[in-house]
Structure 1
Amino acid sequence: MKTIYRKYTHQDAQALVLLMDQLGYDHSEETLSSNIRLVREQGGEVFVAQVAGNVLGCVSAIIDVRLAEGVKGEIVSLVVSEDARGQGLGKGLVLEAEKWLSGEVSVIRVRANALRKQSHLFYESLGYSKDKTQAVLLKKP
């Protein structure tokens, strides 16, 4: 079956709620729609993979600006439905995000949780290489 890669529309909200759950994030349609609106307001975009009318994956492409590192594109929140993994949808989503980002930046970064070893191998197979390891520390104001 043919896969269609396209920008997210509000009709995709319920499918993305389920996908985010598989990634380990609990969202409602409202919270997810709010996040997508904010991603777009900050210059990013969200893409989906659709097969036979069903959204089976998504990815977000954002522009990240840092004082020391400057401007970089970043691929975030990539997830493919557990039932559809291993069919090339993840690669297609990454390529879609890269295509969109390539018009905006000269470097694209991916961050993957240290526990997600399969994700590291996946991105390395697409030409990404490890740059550094760091800890993420959070504090609620």
Structure 2
Amino acid sequence: MESDKKPVCRRVYEERDLTALIALMNQLGYEHSRQSLSDNIQQVRNQGGEVFIAEDAGLVCGCVAAILDIRLAEGIKGEIVSLVVNQQARGRGIGKLLVVVAEQWLSQYVDEYRIRANAIRKDAHRFYQQLGYSEMKQQVVLGKACPTKG
């Protein structure tokens, strides 16, 4: 992944990519087993979404998921989630390529795309703004464990 060329391949996720995706998710701060990430990918697809891969010289160097988010008040929107490019491959346009691939796929289903980025990921905010995204609102995400699970 040391070349300055654009990635040679962008495609949908295949099972052979799983190990590379586990390492990429780790770079985002998310620990996964083969089973947990495989289950997540299957759920994305079961709910109408897709996972895309960027590959350079036969090696996975990035990924993104495109999902359909349906809300009672807002209707259906396309969301671009879990975008990550390998640390050694950043700054070469791979993230932009993956966003474009996700947007093209989502455009079959929706008229608007959204991206949610953690408030602490300021570089990601700037990256998305350079691609034409603008801040719509700020939210607080609250969580609670389900008492019948784990």
Match of 2:53 in 1: 48
Match of 2:73 in 1: 68
Query: What letter matches 1:112 in structure 2?
Result: A
Q: Is the 8 A contact 1:2 1:52 kept in 2?
A: no
Q: CA 1:83–1:66 in 2, change beyond 3 Å: closer, same or farther?
A: same
1:120 aligns with 2:125: yes
Aligned-residue CA RMSD (Å):
0.7
Which is higher, the Rg of structure 1 or of structure 2?
Answer: 2
Identity %, equivalent residues: 59
Q: Is the 8 A contact 1:62 1:74 kept in 2?
A: yes
Q: Is the 8 A contact 1:46 1:59 kept in 2?
A: yes
1:91 aligns with 2:86: no
CA distance in 1, matches of 2:34, 2:52: 16
Query: What letter matches 1:38 in structure 2?
Result: Q
Candidates 77, 86, 98, aligned match of 1:81: 86
Q: Secondary structure at the match of 1:31?
A: helix
CA distance in 1, matches of 2:37, 2:96: 23
Q: Is the 8 A contact 2:22 2:37 kept in 1?
A: yes
Query: What letter matches 2:106 in structure 1?
Result: L
Q: Secondary structure at the match of 1:76?
A: strand
CA deviations over 1:27-77 (Å, ceiling 9, x no partner): 011111111001000000000100000000000000000000100000000
CA distance in 2, matches of 1:29, 1:139: 25
Match of 1:135 in 2: 140
Unaligned runs of 5+ in 1: none
Give the TM-score of the pair, scaled to structure 2. 0.93
Match of 2:26 in 1: 21
Give the TM-score of the pair, scaled to structure 1. 0.98
Query: What letter matches 2:121 in structure 1?
Result: R
